[in-house]
Copies of this chain bind each other. A is one copy, B any other.
Amino acid sequence: MDKPGAKGRESSKERHRQMLIDATAAAIAEHGLAQVSVSRILEKTGLSRGMINLHFATKQKLLVEVARHYSDQYIGSWNSAIAAAGPRPEDRLRAVIEADFDPSVLNRRTMAVWFAFRGEAHSVPDYMPFIDSREARMNRVIYGICTDLCAQGPYPDVDPRRAANSFIAALEGLWTDFHLHPDDFRREEAREVVLEMARAYFPRHFRG
């Protein structure tokens, strides 16, 4: 169908694209978004100067693709985790916590990228969709879980909306903690913190 060699070229194109996205994330983690330059990205790849403009037209569009890439990856692993968890709300909450602290997501580079784009989200609106996607998804799923838990209660004093918000905020805050102090962060302890929150709100579901 394609000309001979076309597939090889196609895949080298895709490979270059991916190299550039990885190198950009690395450069953000190493130098900070404000100090990322085309040269710094390229020196991590060995590719030629024109490459970014060839594949992404502008540096700014490459940055947007980086945001998209990490967002997609996060959403993907989240979806898998939820899908694998089964229907019980307590299992789903555990899955969500697990997913958020998984090293494939919660690692230095990913957090560096995530926090970098958040810092600029208002001034570069192109980044917003990829930041929002996390928030939206989380909101929906965790609110659903809390509603289910309350329904199975009785937890007369728990408002599912507020409980959901506190879980979301705590997960968010623990990411921040990791980002700022990755060396002191204890992943298992962080999970326990959120599970203990769950126990405080929903003792019947999380042992009581």
Residues of A that sit less than 8 Å from B by CB: 29-35, 112, 115-116, 118-124, 131-132, 135, 157-159, 162-163, 165-166, 168-174, 176-177, 179-181, 189-190, 192-194, 196-197, 199-201, 203, 208
Contact = CB atoms under 8 A, between A and B. Distances in A.
Contacts of A193: 162, 165-166, 169
Given A32-B123, A34-B34, A199-B157, A172 B162 contact: no
A160 to B, nearest CB: 11
A118 B196 CA distance: 28
Query: Which among A30, A116, A196, A200 has the highest number of chain B CB atoms within 10 Å?
Result: A200
Main secondary structure of the interface of A (DSSP, over half): helix
A199 B162 CA distance: 12
Contacts of A121: 180
18 contacts: A33-B119, A118-B176, A131-B180, A158-B196, A162-B193, A162-B196, A165-B190, A169-B169, A169-B173, A169-B174, A169-B193, A170-B173, A171-B173, A172-B173, A172-B177, A197-B197, A197-B200, A200-B201
Given A32-B119, A33-B119, A116-B120, 20 more contacts: A29-B122, A34-B120, A112-B122, A115-B115, A115-B119, A119-B119, A119-B120, A132-B180, A135-B181, A159-B196, A165-B193, A166-B193, A166-B197, A168-B173, A169-B170, A169-B173, A169-B177, A170-B170, A172-B176, A200-B201
A178 to B, nearest CB: 10
Contacts of A166: 170, 193-194, 196-197
Contact of A32 (B122, B162, B196): B122
Nearest to A168: B173
